[in-house]
Amino acid sequence: MRVPTLLRGLRKSGFGAAFRRLHRHVVVCGCEQHTRSLPESSQRPLRTCPSAALAVGGVGVAPTRSLRSAITLQDDFYDGRETPGIADIFENNRKWVKRMTEGDDKYFEKLAASHKPEYLWIGCSDARVPANEIMGLGPGEVFVHRNIANMVVNSDMNINAVLQYAVQYLNVKHIIVAGHYDCGGVKAAMEAKDLGLVENWLGGVRDVYRLHQHELDSIEDISLRYRRLVELNVVEQCLNIFQTGVVQRKRLRTFHDRAETGATFATPRVHAMVFDPSDGVLRKLKVNFKELIANYRHIYDIYDSQEWEGMKKDTKKGVVRPQ
């Protein structure tokens, strides 16, 4: 069955609206020997081969699944009641709103009026590591980016966009890279097995192990080796932040403008931290970034002080100054 023919049938059966948004991403087998019927509310059967793969949004679905099982259509069973578990979320939200406005009925008006967080948190996606709660900060105080194993990958557009927005536009003063013990991503990277698609991401953690192989291999206790890799991964991701152009430019600018602004240090400052889910404590790692950066400055530095002074002179002449 051709896709246009399929869509015309779906429109008549009442499912057209759902599938019009997906038709560019759906591949249906043309095999006529297998038939799967839509719900009774549909007047026409949908023919598709269960042995053929269905792609929705570019993601392959198990070949043995029919179109109906691959794409959940709730119209045939939705009875107006909220899905269990989701109803709790809305109820909790109502309680939270009431709690936040009990002492200040203008709380959300103030929250909506300004977005000036002082911190950028780069942490793991692990559900046990909520940034605001760990630091005791409220909404609007932390700009948050999370991914598996708190990685800062220079080819990842997501983290690069977050860094640029946080540093250049929000003017955050501190960037926190926070790992956590019992990190599934780091643990998986220590195992000698194919992890599938996620391997492309966790290969960065394996690289951290390679860089510190001598130290890590000397730790006989596997659990302690694992914890140390968590820490070393955080340090390496901090170094990756120092390598970025947006951070180097902002630090040079704030350093050279310190006499005018009264700042006591270049910003943003980068901090390496590790959270322990077993006791709830957030710890700062003892890292001398000044010393570490000095070892690699000739490799990663994009600007130098003389070049920046030249940029300042150009600014006075009307040349746009880098942000």
What are 89-134's pLDDT values in tens digits?
999 999 999 999 998 999 999 999 999 999 999 999 999 999 999 9
pTM for the whole structure = 0.71
Mean pLDDT (the chain, rounded): 79
Cα 132 to Cα 2: distance, rounded to the nearest angstrom? 51
What would the two tokens of residue 111 be? 């929250």
Q: Residue 10 — very low, low, confident or very high, per pLDDT cuts 50/70/90?
A: low
Mean pLDDT check: name the lowest of 4-18, 168-182, 201-215, 278-292.
4-18
Cβ atoms < 10 Å from Cβ of 74: 9
Q: Nearest-CA neighbor of 272 among 309, 312, 232, 308? A: 232
Q: Which pLDDT value is given to residue 32?
A: 43
| Bridge partner list, 213 | none
Q: Which pLDDT value is given to residue 48?
A: 44
Residue type, 110: K
Considering only CA atoms, give the Rg of the chain.
26
Q: Which pLDDT value is given to residue 242?
A: 94
Q: Which pLDDT value is given to residue 246?
A: 94
> What are the residue ranges of helices labelled H in 103-257?
107-113, 131-135, 157-164, 184-189, 199-211, 213-217, 222-243, 245-256
- Which tens digit of pLDDT belongs to each residue from 194-235? 888 888 899 999 999 999 999 999 999 999 999 999 999 999
Per-residue pLDDT at 150 exceeds 70: yes
Q: Which pLDDT value is given to residue 71?
A: 54
- Which tens digit of pLDDT belongs to each residue from 53-85? 444 444 444 445 555 555 555 555 556 677 778
Cα 150 to Cα 256: distance, rounded to the nearest angstrom? 31
- SS3 category, 268: coil
Q: Which pLDDT value is given to residue 221?
A: 96
Q: What is the DSSP letter of 149?
A: G
> Pairing state of beta strands 269-276 and 174-180?
parallel
Q: Residue 33 — very low, low, confident or very high, per pLDDT cuts 50/70/90?
A: very low
Q: Residue 310 — very low, low, confident or very high, per pLDDT cuts 50/70/90?
A: low
CA dihedral angle for residue 179, residue 195, residue 203, residue 230, rounded to 10 degrees: 20
Active site residues: 124, 126, 128, 180, 183
Give, for 90, the enclosing helix (H) or strand (E): helix 86-101
- Residues near 256 by Cβ (< 8 Å), separated by ≥ 6? 305, 308, 309, 312
Percentage of the chain lying above the pLDDT 70 cut:
69
